[in-house]
Structure 1
Amino acid sequence: MSALRRGRAALFGRRPRTVPARPAPGEVLVRAEDLHVRLGEREVLAGIGLSAYAGEVLALVGPNGAGKSTLLGALAADLPADSGTVYVDGRPVSGWTAPELALRRSVLPQSAALSFPFPVADVVRMGRAPWAGTALADADEESVAAAMAAAEVTGFAGRPFSALSGGERARVALARVLAQRAPLMLLDEPTAALDLRHQELVLRVCRERAAAGDAVVVVLHDLGLAAAYADRVAVLHDGRIAAAGPPSEVFGDGLLSRVYRQPVEVFPHPRTGAPLVVPVRAEAKGEPAGNPCGPRNADGDLTSA
């Protein structure tokens, strides 16, 4: 047994744990009731009520500071609630031990950092730690290989994690979460460091996991990705949910313009019908609309009105 596997067994395998059953379609895997969270003097979440169901992708969207990452952290039981309750697999999160919780939900934070130059394959294998000492521990290598293939990181399995680019690290971190094979996946801005191809890859993986019966809650800034891949979206604004439902019902000009404080237009994609969200921009490509310097003549000098 490798040192890594011995360490995982020591951490997670001290006493037998019940392997959770696969969730039924539509089962609530995480639920927040009247959730309030304060960070310092500021109430970041104010009375949030939200559920995520097996078989769906739920996208959390909204402007910077709206509370998306805080909500994800509270759903993961990484941030304590000041009031209200978060339930995972039907039980308040306070009723689960850390090893038990790790069998039921996996978490991808915004950034991934390691102090030691672990090879990529070992970083992904860390996602299997919760299963040490259970009947499913024998599936470790299969799970790791499948996760690395899904995230397209197999080609640099032996490279040190510290030597990777930001986008490569993000994909390795995703592979670790996939290898964990928890039925609830909580992903915080998984596309932020990725190019176009790999942004699409990540959301396709989310859809595949939902189709396999998992619940995926993902924080996204790209409203186009949310509209194309999410079954439901929750739009956060000033610590509250401004609207929640299918993207086709929630994404409207008025709501998004108000929440983002930026005029937008929403229209259906000509082929798929998914909402396309486009900022309203000045038509001219030269001077911006409302140029305070006023019009100029052909020589570039100011002219009178």
Structure 2
Amino acid sequence: MKLLRPRPTPPPPPTPGDLLAEALDLHLDLGPRRILHGVTLPVRAGEVLALVGPNGAGKSTLLAALAADLPAAEGVVRVRGRPVREWTALELALRRAVLPQAAAVSFPFPVEDVVRMGRAPHGTSPVEDDAVVREAMAATEVGRFAGRPFSALSGGERARVALARVLAQQAPLLLLDEPTAALDLKHQELVLRICRERAEKGDAVVVVLHDLGLAAAYAHRVAVLHGGKVAADGAPEEVFTDELLSAVYDQPIEVIPHPTNGTLLVIPRRGVANL
């Protein structure tokens, strides 16, 4: 008779500064092409880390490597101090939650059921699961269409439901790939506020962003990727300079403080044609 393995238990809550994941001298290939070249990046509890850079810089590839969804060609990725290949899928699911760029569900599940999928790694009671699911839907403002089929939602609504599923997973490491891409202005701000709230509660959030203004306003740290390497890593006010961003994006860029609150504004320099 085959004995069932006991369900793994969730890890203890991290304390601020704990190293929840890291890439060490990471090289990664997609087919014949090398995408990442010697990337080293720590991810610590209590911070929002934004991955920014131009298209093709390797942001999503790095996020997928941290999630253990893509294998390293060289180097190592660790979660909670152990190489990702040494964790089982269920153990990883208790330690990191992943939001991909596109949320796809093959069957017309109701929204609430999609969010409840985030509870799959846990062996908790239905009552506890219900409470977590309700909280996640309330945070992402999707509770009002809990009974609607996921397939009937708009792109922005689907993105928020997918984020609610990630929140319901209650993993201490959140890996979010362009979570604001399909969202309107209000919900872009909502998602980044959620990221900050999770970090303030002790989690680590790694988020791929194209909007440098959002990264400057909400991230504790920013890693600027360029050509598959980390061109800079640090606080936004240290990393976001006219010279660096103009070089990385091959576009003249100005970084100026907001006149009332001092938040960095990242603005492309635009020429105005004479009329």
2:156 paired residue number? 167
Aligned to 1:222: 211
Give the aligned partner of residue 303 of structure 1: none
Q: CA deviation at 1:16?
A: 2.6
- Percent sequence identity over aligned pairs: 70
Question: Who is 1:242 aligned against?
Answer: 231
How far did 1:183 drift? 0.2
CA-CA distance at 1:115 after TM superposition:
1.0
Residues 30-87 of structure 1: CA deviation (Å, up to 9, x unaligned): 1000000011121100000001111000000000000000000000000011111111
Structure 1 counterpart of 2:103: 112
- The reply to whether residue 128 of structure 1 matches residue 99 of structure 2 is no
2:62 equivalent among 71, 86, 100? 71
Residue 171 of structure 1 aligns with an amino acid whose one-letter code is R
Q: 2:129: which partner in 1?
A: 140
Letter in 2 for 1:250: V
Name the CA distance, whole Å, in 2 between partners of 1:21 and 1:138.
22
Alpha-carbon distance in structure 2 between the residues aligned to 1:160 and 1:94: 35
Please tell me whether residue 198 in structure 1 is matched to residue 187 in structure 2.
Answer: yes
Against the structure 1 CA distance between its residues 285 and 53, is the aligned structure 2 distance closer, same or farther, given a 3 Å change threshold? farther
* Counterparts of 1:25 and 1:128, CA distance in 2: 25
Equivalenced residues, count: 272
Query: Contact (CA 8 Å) 1:38, 1:45: kept in 2 or not?
Result: yes
Q: Which residue of 2 aligns with 1:50?
A: 41
What secondary structure, in the 3-state scheme, does the structure 2 residue paired with 1:235 have? strand
Task: Choose which of 89, 93, 96 in structure 1 pairs with 2:87.
Answer: 96
Q: 1:86 aligns with which of 65, 72, 77?
A: 77
Q: TM-score, normalised by structure 2?
A: 0.96
Counterpart for residue 274 of structure 1: 263
Alpha-carbon spacing, 1:239–1:121, altered in 2? closer, same or farther (3 Å): same
Residues 250 and 42 (structure 1), Cα distance of their counterparts in 2 relative to 1, 3 Å cut: same
Computing the radius of gyration over CA atoms, which structure comes out larger, 1 or 2? Answer: 1
Gaps of 5+ in 2: none
Q: Deviations over 1:140-176 (max 9, x none)?
A: 1111000000000000000000000000000000000
Q: Which runs of 5+ in 1 are unaligned?
A: 1-12, 287-305
CA distance in 1, matches of 2:53, 2:153: 30
Stretches of 4+ moved more than 6 A in 1? none
- How many Å separate the matches in 2 of 1:127 and 1:149? 15
Describe how 1:245-264 pairs up with structure 2 within 5 A. Answer: 245-264=234-253
Which of 134, 137, 141 is equivalent to 1:152?
Answer: 141
Q: Would you say 1:208 and 2:188 are equivalent positions? A: no
Give the Cα separation in 1 of the matches to 2:15 and 2:66.
20
Partner of 1:60: 51
Shift of 1:14: 5.2
1:131–1:137 CA contact under 8 A, matched in 2: no
- Per-residue CA shift, 1:199-249, capped at 9, x if unaligned? 000000000000000000000000000000000000000000000100000
Give the deviation of 1:136 after TM superposition: 7.0
Aligned AA (1:47): G
- Identify the residue that residue 40 of structure 1 maps to in structure 2: 31
**In the aligned structure 2, how far is the partner of 1:259 from the partner of 1:123?**
38
1:1-34 Cα offsets, whole Å, 9 max, x none, are xxxxxxxxxxxx8523122100011101010000
Alpha-carbon deviation of 1:274?
A: 2.0
RMSD (Å) for aligned C-alpha atoms: 1.3
SS of equivalent to 1:159: coil
Residue identity matched to 2:177: D
| Residues 1:189 and 2:198 are matched in the alignment | no
2:7 maps to 16
Q: Structure 1 residue 285: deviation in Å?
A: 6.8
1:284 matched to 2:273: yes
CA deviation map 1:102-129 (0-9, x unaligned): 0000000000111100000000000000
